[in-house]
Amino acid sequence: MNRILSVTTSTSLFALSLFAIAGCSSSSSTPGTGGTAADDGATSAAFSSFCTATLNNEATLMTEVGGGAWESDGTQHAGAGTPFLLAASFDLWGGFVITSDGTPMQISTDFTKGLVAGTDFTSSCAPTAIPSSGPNVLLADAKLYPNADLSGTECTITAGTTLTNYSFSSLGTASATISADEVTAKCGVATMYAAEFPLAQLVAR
């Protein structure tokens, strides 16, 4: 089983996820094989300002689990032709498939190579040089709470929101600690907590 745990921070969150060893054994389930509507959320209006790409080959997917980690049991895949959100960190390409119900799934890659342009994917908006990082973008609607036990008045930050002055910390517990200018503006509280907060450093168009 492949599991990646984010420990702290704004800029290293995606990097910790991207540097995952992709050795998974099973290939049974294939959601969105061929890039069908099941995996077309990356092209939705919420992400219209970010660059998308298309898988050239079938890829293993990871789902978010509690505390900011991404995990794969090797059974979930996306087929060639599936659109995804292009991400970049530490001079490597990465990506996230968004299903039609809004669920984000990270593409599992070799941690030394990431995704290889022209081999693993094609994109008309990808820059020639891989950015060292990108804006921190929320990949799905996230429910935040003012208390670490996830109690208090719920506040929702919507998918596609870019977060500035962002900070995140998690030790793999039930909730992660989150702060950002947009969180303060929307929720009226500087520090909030969430069970899931899928974030990526995406590539702007």
Average pLDDT for residues 78-97, to the nearest whole number? 94
- In this prediction the pTM is 0.81
User: Regarding predicted confidence, which is higher, 60 or 28?
Assistant: 60
Q: How many angstroms separate the CA atoms of 117 and 55, rounded? A: 10
C-alpha dist (Å) from residue 130 to 88, 91, 94, 99, 138: 7, 5, 10, 25, 21
- Mean pLDDT in the chain? 82
Residue 13 pLDDT grade (very low, low, confident, very high; cuts 50, 70, 90): very low
pLDDT for position 170: 80
